[in-house]
Chain A
Amino acid sequence: MSELAIRRGAAPALEIAGLGYAYPRAAASALRDVSVEISPGEFVLLAGRSASGKSTLLKAACGLAPHFHGGEIEGAVTVAGRDAIESGPGELAAAVGYVAQDPETQVVSTTVAAEIELPLEMRGDADSDRARAVEEVALALAIPHLLGRTVDTLSGGELQRVALAAALVTRPSLVLLDEPTSQLDPVAGDELIWLLRRLNEEWGVAVLLAEHRLERCLAAADRVIAMDAGRITFDGPPGDFLAWSHVSDTALTTPAARLFSLAGIEPLPVGVRQARSLLESRGRGEGEGVGSPPGAHPLRGGGGRPLASTRKVAEFAGRGPDPLSATASLIASDLWVEMVRNDEPRDVLRGIDLRLGRGERVALMGRNGAGKSTLLKTAAGLIEPVRGKVEVPGGMALLTQNPGDYLVRERVGDELPGEAGAAALRAVGLEHAADADPRDLSGGERQRLALAIALAGQMEGERLPGLVALDEPTRGMDRGRKDELVELIGDLAARGAGVVVATHDVEFASAFADRVVLLGDGVVIADGPAREVLSGGWYFATEVARVLDLPGVVTPEQGAAALRGEGPG
């Protein structure tokens, strides 16, 4: 318990002792002997791979498990002095707020004001109290302009803020968040994390945040709890967590920590600011300028050698001329697409000119609503352009955001019959799963099966269609699954398909892409080698790029090479 909490004599915001939990009809327990205590005002990050028990722990802390989901529970869960196993989620609502991953299913009212007011109404608060509480939480989350809107007109980021407001309006002492940024673009994601930190500091609300993209929120956390197979495997400060993850589970480490680790620099930094500060202090030791803006002076790498910061971008450009990429996989010329949003027609794509080659690995990036999905759907023929044209000379397979939408039968072989189906299964490495039920496959396998369904019949023998497009494929994925996807994309590109992936995940983009196309409000605002585009900004830049601020340096490996004075190439 923190000193502040002890001085105040406050009860822990959350106290869990010997918690075990199994979902109904589950073969194994989702939580095993979990004991943890969160003090009032703490900001705790919950890390772990997929299915490690993070979401279940959050559900147990707010009473959904077992009150809503059923199942068997043992041990004790106490939220602000109240027994969460005895009390239901509604009774705990005053003490704990919960925000889930999908903002769509977290709103139950028509208007934003009514949505935020609902918990207070259910509690029986007076009209005047409700009005004031709604106003205050709306101001705190910077959404007073949304109060009069209907929820179906909000963007994902706005909807997530509304869900957070509804969770906070009762002024709980603890707020639980289950991957709240997984569907947000980097800008909205960063805004949400820092908003949480501000609320944590100003309101004193304790935060328990489950996230996969640790680089996004580690610097905001006071403490990290790591889970694996339903057990707590680490509980300590962020710096210690990085040291632990470096040894015990590298999938949980951050790019900046990997950069330092590869460069042999210690301690491992918990965020961009600390990383820069550590590098600058190394430079200071060598008598370099202090307090200068990053990139304004040569930083010092391992061994105190100067960084290769003077190299021009062109030297780090992606793939050179390649006969395969000379064959076009997508050609968009003066492409305009109009769609109706909020009762008003709006140009979602505005005169896009774009050419992608076969064998290219392209990341299509941009904020929510920038036009990424619309561009892919237009190329796939789902949307008619109002002007211009888009061609996919060698055919196209598009995997949309929800792979589950493609799976409508109960046997993989029934989804993909015949030789064409078998070829598609072979193309994604699932030939062994023809007799399996799609629901029994892992998340990554389901995604590959959906891709095979999109590919089936478009292949000549083992030859892939000209363009394979994936729309936001990494939502909710842990690092391990992302690495598998990077491999699959590399394989598809090596076999001659142009691969374009719409993604918000800059680290993932840096891992697979050799070219990045950045859209902003329906126009291409940047198009170039991944190393150049992902190192040339702030929001659409990798953590390593933000730390080093060197042109063409985006991955930990490139950064470590630069720190060793070898140049990023």
Chain B
Amino acid sequence: MRSPFAYTPRPGPLQAASPGAAVAYLGALTAVAFLFSNPLVLAAAGIGAGLAGRLAGAWSAVRAAIRLGLAIALPIVIVNALVVNRGQTVLARLGDWPLLGQVDVTAEALADGAVFGLRAVVVMIAFAVYSACVDPDRVLRALRPFAGRSALTATLVSRLVPVAAADAGRLRDAARLRGPGAAEAGRAPLARRLLAGSLDRAVDVAATLELRGYSLEPRRRPHRRRLAEGLWGREDPKPFGRASRFDLRFYLAGAVVLGAAIAAKALGADDFGAYPTIAVGFDPATLALSALLVLSGLTPLRRRPRRRRV
């Protein structure tokens, strides 16, 4: 079964955009999540990223990211509530705990933890949309001129992970099919077997890479020579992969989101404080930024082609 985060080619603007443009757009939303603590802004960034995923056809990835993000957020909230005793609104007094001492659960600590958790959810959604919509081959191709060995490692890993997962599934099946009189497979022998099999697989994949010319000297690779002449040289104006007519849209959206976030920050938006009592600001700059973040989720929207009458 495929992971919901696995890249799936679809005919959408986000998939068609170059990796650089997609990273600029989704990266801006992620940056907002790290720059701001106001739950309204964070929620707006999450909605924007989720909307982008929905419009790009990656709704299953968004849903999986929300589930995973909430699974990460919940322990953050609980741990924060247990270890932070600040805050005036005590909801429960849990007495003396070993190592933690007096544990008082406050509404402020819960809210503070929830903001951390919300940030994790937003980052997960943005990453999920990236993973499901941006072609990893194009990313690796863009990375190769700068970091050939890292790109090689990434290629090997990206290929071996699904192969190893399939091997692990087969080994689990074989372990279940062992007769009751055979020795139990056991976790350690299975892990050893999987590791040995993965090494064999890695050798096979590496052989294929050799045959594809991965080991050629850099001097044989004009792409790299062109880059040496200047990143935006005349011969290869697009070192980050083939351009798309949607690139400008995503670069622009990313720049607007990031610019607006910085301007809003300068104007005093992001008024959030958890202690001693919860204070959330809803000033015009915060509201405007939140609205912009939600609207930015429409960037991958594809215009319906006009019908022509013949």
Contacts and interface: CB of A to CB of B under 8 A. Distances in A.
Interface of A: 62, 64, 67-68, 88-91, 93, 97-98, 100, 102, 104-111, 114, 118-119, 121-124, 127, 148-150, 152-153, 166-167, 340, 342-343, 377, 380-382, 397-400, 402, 404-409, 414-418, 420-421, 423-424, 453-459
B176 A382 contact: yes
Given A424-B179, A458-B180, A109 B216 contact: no
Given A108-B205, A114-B135, A89 B210 contact: yes
Q: Taking each of B136, B178, B179, which has the highest tally of chain A beta carbons within 10 Å of its own beta carbon?
A: B179
B259 interface: no
A62 B211 contact: yes
Contact of B183 (A105, A106, A109, A415): A415
Given A90-B212, A114-B135, A104 B178 contact: no
Interface stretch (B217-225, B260-268, B270-278, B290-298): B217-225
Contacts of A457: 179-182
Contact of A64 (B173, B189, B205, B211): B211
A401 to B, nearest CB: 8
A342 B2 contact: yes
Contact of A110 (B158, B189, B223): B158
30 contacts: A64-B211, A89-B207, A89-B211, A89-B215, A90-B210, A90-B213, A90-B215, A98-B211, A100-B208, A102-B204, A104-B166, A105-B201, A107-B208, A108-B159, A108-B212, A109-B159, A122-B216, A343-B8, A399-B177, A405-B193, A407-B193, A408-B186, A416-B181, A424-B181, A453-B179, A454-B179, A455-B179, A456-B179, A456-B182, A457-B182
Contacts of B216: 90-91, 122-123
B9 interface: yes
Given A108-B155, A124-B220, A382-B177, 17 more contacts: A93-B211, A102-B204, A105-B163, A105-B204, A105-B205, A106-B204, A109-B155, A122-B213, A122-B216, A343-B2, A343-B8, A382-B176, A398-B177, A405-B170, A420-B181, A456-B179, A457-B179
Given A88-B215, A400-B170, A414 B183 contact: yes
B1 interface: yes
Contact of A400 (B138, B173, B205): B173
Contacts of A377: 173
A136 B60 CA distance: 35
Contacts of A110: 7, 135-137, 158
Contacts, number: 179
B178 A456 contact: yes
B162 interface: yes
A148 B15 CA distance: 12
Interface in B119-156: 135-138, 141, 155-156
B171 A405 contact: yes
Interface in B158-207: 158-159, 162-163, 166, 170-171, 173-183, 185-186, 189-190, 192-193, 197, 201, 204-207
A32 B31 CA distance: 63
Contact of B208 (A108, A124, A380): A108
B67 interface: no
Nearest to B186: A408
| A-B interface, 3 closest residue pairs, ranked by CB to CB distance from nearest | A457-B181, A420-B181, A122-B213
B214 A122 contact: yes
Contacts of A382: 173, 176-177
A408 B170 CA distance: 13
A148 B175 CA distance: 37
A63 B6 CA distance: 34
Nearest to A402: B170
Nearest to B241: A127
Nearest to B176: A382
Interface residue tally of chain B, by bracket? 35 or more
Contacts of B7: 110-111, 150
B302 interface: no
B222 to A, nearest CB: 4
B209 interface: yes
Nearest to A90: B213
Nearest to B224: A124
Contacts of A398: 177
B275 to A, nearest CB: 46
B182 A453 contact: yes
B228 to A, nearest CB: 13
A169 to B, nearest CB: 10
Nearest to B8: A150
B185 A150 contact: no
A406 B211 CA distance: 32
B204 A380 contact: no
Contacts of B171: 405, 408
A406 B204 CA distance: 21
A281 B136 CA distance: 60
A80 B56 CA distance: 48
Nearest to B214: A122
Given A64-B210, A124-B220, A382-B173, A109 B181 contact: no
B183 A400 contact: no
Contacts of A153: 2
Given A100-B204, A122-B216, A148 B9 contact: yes
Contact of B212 (A93, A402, A414, A458): A93
Contacts of B183: 409, 414-417, 421
A358 B208 CA distance: 46
B180 A456 contact: yes
Contacts of B212: 90, 93, 108, 118-119, 122, 166
B135, B207, B209: which has the most chain A beta carbons within 10 Å? B207
B23 to A, nearest CB: 17
Contacts of B159: 107-109
A319 to B, nearest CB: 28
A86 to B, nearest CB: 14
Nearest to A59: B207
Nearest to B202: A105
Contacts of B186: 408
A268 B181 CA distance: 50
Given A105-B208, A111-B135, A343-B60, A123 B182 contact: no
A194 to B, nearest CB: 24
Contacts of B156: 108
A409 B189 contact: yes
A118 B6 CA distance: 21
Contact of A458 (B136, B138, B179, B204): B179
Given A456-B180, A456-B182, A457-B179, A406 B174 contact: yes
Interface in B222-275: 222-223, 242
A408 B2 contact: no
A513 to B, nearest CB: 23
A114 B139 CA distance: 11
Given A122-B213, A456-B182, A68 B207 contact: yes
B177 A380 contact: yes
Contacts of A100: 204, 207-208
